[in-house]
C-alpha cells in the first residue's frame, strides 16, 4: 500500500487531508515518507517465495505478503557453504591443507556466482515490473545484522553481479522487473546474536519523490538427519585406522550396505577410527519451481582439535558443504559428534518440535571410585528437570582425567573435567532446531557419548520411531543366571582367557549396578520429555566394565590395567548392541556379542539382544566388529557415519 504525499507536507496538513478523504488508503509506510513516483504510478514491490512453492508469484496474491519469516512460514535462503565449481582444493601436492585454509574457502566466501549449479543455491527475489518515470533510480540492500552475513546478487544481461546499496538500478531495469538472488555467507551459529532473518529493502527515487518496499527471508535451518531416514552412503575410517587389520569387518559391512542399495566409502588422510565423531551430517533445503527441493548437505565438524577433521573436507563439493562448529583447542570427548543424537520431528502435548530436537550427553553424575571391599559408590546427581536442559549445579566430588592422560606436574589443581559440550556446540545445535537439547547423563561413561546408551530406530507406530536404551540390569541378570547354572568357568567372551566368574567380580557388579541406576533415571527422563510408552522403549542388555581394563594394542585380547586415573569410568564389556547402524526402516546392523554361552551352546546375550530388536519389528544383521572397533572401546554406530535420504518435511509449502 502507498500514499500520495509531498515530501515536505506537514503532519497537520496530512491529518486534514485524511479527514477530507483526499489521500485514499494510508499505509504504515506513509509515516516513513514513502512516496509514489508520479501521477498514475504504482509503488515498487519486492516479492519472494512466501508460500514456499518454489515460485515467485508476480501477478497473483500468493506471494504478496512477504513479511512473514518464521520457521514454518515465509521465504527461506541457503547458507551457501558448498563448492559447486570445485575451486577449493582440499590438498596441495597430495597433502591436506591446514584447517583454517580449508574452512575459509567455499561459495559463500567469494563475490561471484560460481556457475549454473551455484545459481541454484540463490533464493529468488523479484520486483513486479512497473511503468516508472525515465529518471527513476533504485538502490537495493540488506538491512541490519543480516547485511554482513549475506550477499545479494542482481542478474544483468544474463550475468549475476553482486550488488550493494551503492549500486544504481536504472528505470529500464525497474520497468522490466529485477531478478535478484540472496545467499547466506555462513550457517546460523547463535540465535541470540542473529535470528537468521534477512530484510531486503528497495528504495526508488524520481523527481524528489521516493518509494520503498521490504521483504523478509529466513535462513533455512540445518536439518539434522535421524535414523528414520534410509541410509544412502555409509562411511568408515581410513585403512590406517585399523581396518587394514580387519578386512572381514569392512567386507561384511560392504555386503550389508550394498544389499540395501547404499554405498560404502572410506575416509582418508588420517588414522582416526571413529567416523561418527568427526562430523554431524545435516542438510538444508530450498523449494524449486519443479516442485522438488534443492538440497545441500552440510557436514558440521566436531568442536575438537582433531586432526582428522581436515579429512572431511575431501567430501566437500557440489551441494556438499563442510563447516566448523567451533575452535576448541582440546579433544574433549563431550564435543565429539558421537555425543549427539537426533530426535525426529515430534509433538509432545502442546509442545511442537517441527525440526526435531538434539539429544546430548552431559556429565551430570559422579563416577564411582574403583570399588574396594564394602565401599559404596558415590551417588550421581539428580538430572535437571526438562525445562531447558540445564544440568545440575552441584560440583562433582572427583575430577578424573580422561583419555588415558596421566596428570602432569605443572597441571593446575583447579582444572576440572568438562561436564558439558562446548558453548559453541550447544549454541550451534540450538540455533538449528529452535529447541533446547534433551540432556541425558553420561557421567559414568569413560568416553561420555550419548550414542553409547541410546539410539533412535524407525518403527511402524504413530510416532514413527522408538528409542533403544542400554539396560545393564538386564545384562547383569543374564550373567547371574549363567553363574547360577554353573556356567561361570567358561571364558567371559570368545577366545578370552579370563573366566566369566573372574570377570564378574564385586567391582564389575558394582559398576553395572551404578550404571543401571543412572540408566533408570535416563529412561525416566526420556519418558517424561517425550511421553514415551513402554512399547516405545527397546531395552537392550548391555554389560559394562571398568575402563581401567583396556585391551593391549599388540595382541588385541589380553586385558591390562595400567590406568589408575579413570576412577570408576566404564566402557562396554562386550560389544554394545545399542551402538549399531540403522540402514533403513526395519533393518539394523549390530555387533556380534562374542558372549558366554548356555548349556545349549547359545550366546545368551546375543539371543537376548536379537529378541529385543525383533520384538520391535527390526531385522537384525550381526557383524563381527571386535577388530577394529570394540577393542578400542566402541562399536558400529561410533565407527561409521551416514548420509541419509534428505526428506522435506521441515521446509515445505505451508
What does pTM read for this prediction?
A: 0.86
Strand-pairing partners, residue 189, are none
Q: How large is the average pLDDT for residues 69-87?
A: 94
Over 60: is that where the pLDDT of 550 sits? no
Architecture in CATH of 46-219: Sandwich (2.60)
Residue 84 phi/psi, 5-degree rounding, is -65, -35
Over 70: is that where the pLDDT of 199 sits? yes
Span 600-624, pLDDT tens digits: 999 999 999 999 999 999 999 999 9
Which residues are CB-contacts of 288 (< 8 A; sequence separation ≥ 6)? 54, 120, 294
> For the ranges 287-291, 373-377, 625-629, which has the lowest average pLDDT?
373-377
C-alpha cell at 333: 570427548
Q: Distance between CA 125 and CA 55 in Å, rounded?
A: 10
User: Secondary structure of 283-328 in the HEC alphabet?
Assistant: EEEEECCCCCEEEEEEEEECCCCCHHHHHHHHHCECCEEEEECCCC
**Count of Cβ atoms closer than 10 Å to residue 512 Cβ:** 22
Are 339 and 360 spatial neighbours (Cβ–Cβ below 8 Å)? yes
Torsion of CA 247, 253, 258, 262, to 10 degrees: -120
Higher pLDDT, 52 or 417: 52
Q: Determine the pLDDT at residue 41.
A: 53
Indicate the helix (H) or strand (E) that contains 2. Answer: none
Over 60: is that where the pLDDT of 7 sits? no
Are 437 and 355 spatial neighbours (Cβ–Cβ below 8 Å)? no
Q: Distance between CA 55 and CA 40 in Å, rounded?
A: 29
C-alpha cell at 11: 503532519
Over 80: is that where the pLDDT of 141 sits? yes
Q: Distance between CA 623 and CA 437 in Å, rounded?
A: 32
Over 70: is that where the pLDDT of 131 sits? yes
**Count of Cβ atoms closer than 10 Å to residue 137 Cβ:** 15
DSSP per-residue string spanning 173-204: HHHH--EEEEEESS----TTT--SEEEEEEEE
Q: How many CA atoms lie less than 13 Å away from 245 in the CB half-sphere?
A: 15
Closest CA to 314 of 582, 641, 586: 641
Domains of the chain, residue spans: 46-219, 223-371+415-652
Which residues are CB-contacts of 236 (< 8 A; sequence separation ≥ 6)? 243, 250, 253, 264, 265, 266, 267, 275, 639, 640
Q: How large is the average pLDDT for residues 7-21?
A: 39
Residue 637 phi/psi, 5-degree rounding, is -60, -45
Q: Residue 296: left (phi > 0), alpha (psi -120 to 50), or beta?
A: beta
Q: Determine the pLDDT at residue 393.
A: 33
Span 455-503, pLDDT tens digits: 999 999 999 999 999 999 999 999 999 999 999 999 999 989 999 999 9
Q: How large is the average pLDDT for residues 406-434?
A: 74
Higher pLDDT, 547 or 503: 503
Q: Distance between CA 516 and CA 15 in Å, rounded?
A: 74
Q: Distance between CA 289 and CA 120 in Å, rounded?
A: 11
Are 123 and 167 spatial neighbours (Cβ–Cβ below 8 Å)? no
Residue 311 phi/psi, 5-degree rounding, is -65, -25
Q: Determine the pLDDT at residue 416.
A: 67
Q: Distance between CA 523 and CA 471 in Å, rounded?
A: 10
Are 640 and 275 spatial neighbours (Cβ–Cβ below 8 Å)? yes
C-alpha cell at 430: 540450538
Strand-pairing partners, residue 161, are 154
Q: How many CA atoms lie less than 13 Å away from 499 in the CB half-sphere?
A: 10
Span 24-62, pLDDT tens digits: 333 333 333 344 555 545 578 999 999 999 999 999 888
Which residues are CB-contacts of 301 (< 8 A; sequence separation ≥ 6)? 278, 279, 309, 312, 322, 323, 324, 325
Tell me how many degrees the CA angle 360-551-567 measures, rounded to the nearest 5: 55
Task: Report whether CATH 3.75.10.10 matches the domain 223-371+415-652.
Answer: yes
Mean pLDDT (the chain) is 86
* pLDDT band with cut points at 50, 70 and 90 for residue 652: low
Tell me how many degrees the CA angle 542-543-547 measures, rounded to the nearest 5: 125
> For the ranges 32-46, 157-171, 284-298, 458-472, which has the lowest average pLDDT?
32-46
Q: Determine the pLDDT at residue 105.
A: 98
Report how far apart, in Å, the C-alpha atoms of 567 and of each of 245, 368, 399, 632 are. Answer: 31, 7, 9, 19
Amino acid at each position: 500500500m502507498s500514499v500520495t504525499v509531498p515530501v515536505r507536507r506537514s503532519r497537520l496538513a496530512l491529518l486534514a487531508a485524511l479527514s477530507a478523504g483526499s489521500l485514499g488508503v494510508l499505509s504504515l509506510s506513509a509515516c516513513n515518507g514513502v512516496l509514489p513516483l508520479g501521477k498514475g504510478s504504482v509503488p515498487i514491490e519486492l516479492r519472494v517465495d512466501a508460500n514456499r512453492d518454489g515460485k515467485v508469484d508476480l501477478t497473483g496474491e500468493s506471494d504478496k505478503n512477504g513479511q512473514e519469516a518464521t520457521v514454518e512460514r515465509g521465504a527461506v535462503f541457503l547458507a551457501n557453504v558448498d563448492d559447486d565449481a570445485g575451486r577449493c582444493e582440499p590438498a596441495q601436492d597430495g597433502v591436506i591443507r591446514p584447517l583454517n585454509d580449508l574452512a575459509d574457502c567455499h561459495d559463500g566466501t567469494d563475490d561471484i556466482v560460481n556457475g549454473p549449479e551455484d545459481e541454484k543455491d540463490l533464493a529468488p527475489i523479484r520486483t513486479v515490473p512497473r511503468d516508472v518515470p525515465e529518471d527513476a533510480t533504485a538502490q537495493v540492500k540488506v538491512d541490519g545484522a543480516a547485511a554482513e552475513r549475506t550477499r545479494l546478487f542482481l542478474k544483468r544481461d544474463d550475468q549475476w553481479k553482486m550488488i550493494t546499496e551503492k549500486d544504481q538500478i536504472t528505470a529500464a531495469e525497474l520497468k522490466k522487473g529485477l531478478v535478484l538472488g540472496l545467499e547466506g555467507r555462513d550457517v546460523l551459529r547463535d540465535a541470540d546474536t542473529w535470528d537468521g532473518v534477512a530484510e531486503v529493502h528497495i528504495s526508488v527515487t524520481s523527481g524528489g519523490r521516493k518509494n520503498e518496499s521490504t521483504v523478509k527471508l529466513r535462513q533455512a535451518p540445518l536439518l539434522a538427519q535421524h535414523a528414520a531416514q534410509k541410509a544412502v552412503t555409509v562411511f568408515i575410517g581410513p585403512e590406517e585406522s585399523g581396518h587394514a587389520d580387519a578386512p572381514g569387518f569392512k567386507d561384511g559391512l560392504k555386503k550389508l550396505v550394498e544389499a540395501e542399495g547404499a554405498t560404502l566409502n572410506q575416509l582418508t588422510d588420517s588414522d582416526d577410527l571413529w567416523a561418527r565423531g568427526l562430523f554431524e551430517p545435516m542438510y538444508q533445503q530450498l523449494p524449486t519451481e519443479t516442485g522438488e527441493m534443492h538440497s545441500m548437505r552440510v557436514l558440521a565438524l566436531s568442536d575438537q582439535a582433531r586432526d582428522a577433521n581436515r579429512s572431511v573436507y575431501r567430501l566437500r563439493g557440489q551441494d556438499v558443504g563442510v563447516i566448523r562448529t567451533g575452535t576448541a583447542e582440546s579433544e574433549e570427548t563431550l564435543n565429539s559428534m558421537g555425543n549427539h543424537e537426533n530426535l525426529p520431528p515430534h509433538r509432545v502435548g502442546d509442545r511442537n518440535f517441527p525440526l526435531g530436537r538434539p539429544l546430548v550427553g552431559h556429565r551430570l553424575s559422579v563416577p564411582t571410585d574403583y570399588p574396594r571391599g564394602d565401599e559404596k559408590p558415590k551417588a550421581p546427581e539428580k538430572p535437571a528437570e526438562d525445562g531447558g536442559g540445564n544440568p545440575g549445579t552441584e560440583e562433582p566430588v572427583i575430577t578424573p582425567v580422561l583419555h588415558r592422560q596421566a596428570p602432569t606436574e605443572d597441571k593446575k589443581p583447579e582444572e576440572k573435567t568438562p561436564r558439558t559440550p562446548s558453548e559453541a556446540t550447544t549454541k550451534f545445535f540450538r540455533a538449528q532446531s529452535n529447541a533446547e537439547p534433551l540432556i541425558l547423563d553420561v557421567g559414568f561413561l569413560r568416553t561420555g557419548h550419548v550414542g553409547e546408551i541410546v539410539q533412535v530406530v524407525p518403527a511402524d507406530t504413530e510416532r514413527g520411531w522408538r528409542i533403544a536404551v542400554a539396560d545393564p540390569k538386564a545384562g547383569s541378570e543374564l550373567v547371574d543366571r549363567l553363574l547360577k547354572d554353573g556356567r561361570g568357568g567358561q571364558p567371559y567372551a570368545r577366545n578370552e582367557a579370563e573366566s566369566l566368574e573372574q570377570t564378574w567380580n564385586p567391582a564389575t557388579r558394582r559398576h553395572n549396578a551404578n550404571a543401571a541406576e543412572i540408566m533408570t533415571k535416563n529412561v525416566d527422563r526420556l519418558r517424561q520429555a517425550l511421553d514415551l510408552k513402554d512399547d516405545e522403549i527397546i531395552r537392550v542388555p548391555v554389560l559394562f566394565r571398568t575402563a581401567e581394563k583396556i585391551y593391549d594394542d599388540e595382541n588385541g585380547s589380553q586385558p591390562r590395567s595400567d590406568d589408575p586415573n579413570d576412577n570408576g569410568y566404564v566402557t562396554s564389556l562386550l560389544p554394545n548392541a545399542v551402538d549399531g547402524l540403522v540402514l533403513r526402516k526395519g533393518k539394523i546392523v549390530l555387533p556380534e556379542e562374542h558372549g558366554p554361552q548356555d548349556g545349549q551352546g547359545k550366546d545368551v546375550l546375543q539371543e537376548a539382544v536379537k529378541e529385543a530388536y525383533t520384538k520391535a519389528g527390526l531385522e537384525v544383521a550381526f557383524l563381527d566388529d571386535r577388530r577394529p572397533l570394540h577393542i578400542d572401546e566402541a562399536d558400529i554406530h561410533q565407527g561409521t557415519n551416514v548420509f541419509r535420504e534428505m526428506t522435506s518435511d521441515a521446509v515445505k509449502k505451508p
